[in-house]
Amino acid sequence: MTTRDPQSRPDGHPSGAPWRNFYGRRHGKTLRDRHKAFLETDLERLSPGPVAWEDNPGRAPLDLASLFGGREVWLEIGFGGGEHMVHQAASHPEVGLIGAEPFINAVAMLLGRIREAGVETIRIHPGDVRDLFDVLPEGSVAKAFLLYPDPWPKARHHRRRFVTPEHLVPLARVLRPGAEFRVATDIPDYVRQTLEEVPRHGFEWLAEGPEDWRRPWPDWIPTRYEEKALREGRVPHYLTFRRR
């Protein structure tokens, strides 16, 4: 991947940092005061460690054993409102969860949910998951979730979707053999691209019949994105893969 000197980079990243295009929003409507307070008081405490290039230029791996006390580690990519992460943390206290989400309004929402639920095993990276992939040790993640990702519906934007080599190659690296990768989407063309690309990058689709992608997982809770899809008449698909 190409790198550029920070003098020539409008984003001001330090020298040596990979040049990565980012698509999508980082900020939405003005935050409520309580959400601003969550960001100021809780976000740093719930960081997984030095992830940003300027804080970790040598890309030293995260110490997950110290971070989670030896727990198995799960990863959620783009956690949205955070209801799924909090549900998993409450249901599986024996697991440590890391979530990556660049949309700061969603991060603030998750922080509020964490406070309300009183869960203590979630860590948050408020940025691009590719930066997190850089510092997660190889084979360190036992399960990953990609739930209702941005569909980028226009054909010319399909390369921006998560299910592309730029994301799937490092995801496969950080997942241990046998790890589960769950994808939920209500967009038929996203299903098509997922089924084409994910198996090419070290994964096996576990479906044996139609019910396996029509029926949600036993520990699933509907998210606000799924509820919106159902209101608008779109059909959710639940795809389960295993890291070879």
The DSSP secondary structure of 42-111, one letter per residue, reads TTTTT--S--STTT-TT-PPP-HHHHHTT-EEEEEES-TTSHHHHHHHHH-TTEEEEEE---HHHHHHHH
What amino acid is encoded at 194 in this protein?
Answer: T
Q: What angle do CA 76, 17, 51 make, to 5 degrees?
A: 35
Beta-strand pair 203-205/237-243: antiparallel
CA–CA separation, 106 and 165 (whole Å): 26
Q: Kind and range of the H or E element at 194?
A: helix 188-197
Q: Which of 26, 132, 157 is nearest to 76 (CA)?
A: 132
Catalytic positions are 150
CA–CA separation, 214 and 236 (whole Å): 7
Q: How many Cβ atoms sit within 10 Å of the Cβ of residue 165?
A: 12
Q: Is 150 exposed, middle or buried (0-12, 13-18, 19+ CB in 10 A)?
A: middle
